[in-house]
Structures are given as structure tokens and as C-alpha cells.
Structure 1
Amino acid sequence: MATKFQLQPKPTFKADVTIPRAGDDDGVLTFTFKHHPLKQLSEIESIKDTTAADFVMQIAEGWALSDDFTHENVVILLENYPQAGTAIVKKYYEEMVGNREKN
């Protein structure tokens, strides 16, 4: 059954991010993302000297790990899994623009 459409989206949404892992199968980590209107997202994107971890902290508010969702832990994730940042941001934009992959 289709969900009733609303003019104002939910403030957060969950999405599974597939993160490549060297020598192992890709891992899947569920993120709780923040829904930002396009104008606000554009402002976030234009912040100078922002790091990948800073950007992830702006677009997400949590993850399905036992480790706390903190800036320090996001940095650890991005350092240990070099493609994680790209995978997280790509999934966020796919969800935001409705460009999801179909099975």
C-alpha cells in the first residue's frame, strides 16, 4: 500500500550503505540521514575547509553500530575504509533525489 504523500518530508530517513572492504565482502551499514532542503544542502556543500567527516556529520545523525556516532568515530571509519566516504555521500544523494537502484 502506498504511503500518503506529504508536502513536508520526514526529518530523517534510514538507508543501507554498502562499504567496500579490502579482502572481504562489502559491508552494509545502516545510516540515519537528515533530510535537508536543497537550499540548506547547498549551503552545507559550500562550507570551505570542510572534511569528509565534517560533511558526514552534517548529513547523518546516526548509524547502526555499537560504537557511538561521533566525529572521532566517523574519522576512524573513513580512515579504515577509504571508499566509505564516497559510498555514504553517494547513497545520501541517491535517496535525496529518488535515484534508487531497482532490483
Structure 2
Amino acid sequence: MAKIKIAPNPTFKAKVQIPRVGGEAVAVDFEFKYLDRIALSALFDRWNTARDEHATKVQEEGMSWQDATASEIALQVEQLKDIVSGWGFDEKLSDEAMTALVTTCVGAPQAVLAAYQAAYQPARLGN
């Protein structure tokens, strides 16, 4: 019988299809931080609160598109910093590189977040 430990590794890897403007998506290896169910739900609560605060701020302050976009980029960078511990880009993982990714590739944050969430979905069993 195979032995398996209950405690998962602190990180896990997944390929993320990073969309490219005017080109095909590129598969990039990402290493993600593992969170248990309680920590994951707390993270999602924090993200939802930040998103709601961002939307309220944009609406109430009548921000310009440029300011609203800069604020959204900062929010998305923080989300990625919460979950990404490594990646397969040529650039070393850093706040600056993460900001560059989110700024230049509009679909990247959603692709990374979707891949992270998909890793937590129960595996399909059987046919």
C-alpha cells in the first residue's frame, strides 16, 4: 500500500496559460504557496474586501481611468504576491517584475488566480 502524508507541501506547481496581446497564450510554470482551507478562506475574504473598497473608491472619488487602472494594478500585484512563490519567467520574481507582468499583460492576473483556484478543486474521479 502506498504511503501518503496528510500534511501537504508548503508549495505546489502548476502551469499557467499567460495570454499575450496579439499572440497565443504561453504556458509558464508557477510555484504557488499552499494554504489550508481556513487560511484560503481568510485570503479570499481579504481579497473581496479589498476589491469592494477599490470599487467604492473609484466610484465615490470619480477617479480617472488612469488612476483607477493604477489602483487596480496595485491590488492585483498584492493578490499575486499572496500566492506566488516562484515562476518560470526569465525575470527573477520580485515586486518590480510582478508589477511589470500585471501592467503589460492585462489577462495575466486572472490567469494566475484561476490556475491557483483550479488547483484547489477536487480532482475528478473515474470517467
- TM-score bracket for the superposition, by shorter chain length: 0.7 to 0.9
TM-score with structure 2 length normalisation? Answer: 0.69
Amino acid at match of 1:21: R
Q: Structure with the greater relative contact order (CA < 8 A, sep ≥ 6): 1 or 2?
A: 2
1:54–1:71 contact (8 Å) kept in structure 2: no
Unaligned runs of 5+ in 2: 52-74
Amino acid at match of 2:50: D
Which whole-Å deviations, capped at 9, do the CAs of 1:31-75 have from their partners, x for residues lacking one?
100110111112222224371111111111010122111122111
**Bigger share in strand:** 1
| Structure 1 runs (4+) greater than 6 angstroms displaced | none
Unaligned runs of 5+ in 1: none
Q: How many residues align?
A: 98
What's the Cα RMSD here? 1.9
Does residue 84 of structure 2 align to residue 71 of structure 1?
no
Q: Percent identity?
A: 27
**Bigger share in helix:** 2
1:33–1:59 contact (8 Å) kept in structure 2: yes
Match of 1:61 in 2: 85
Match of 1:49 in 2: 50
Matches within 5 A, 1:12-91: 12-47=11-46, 48-49=49-50, 51-91=75-115
CA distance in structure 1 between the partners assigned to 2:78 and 2:44 by the alignment: 11
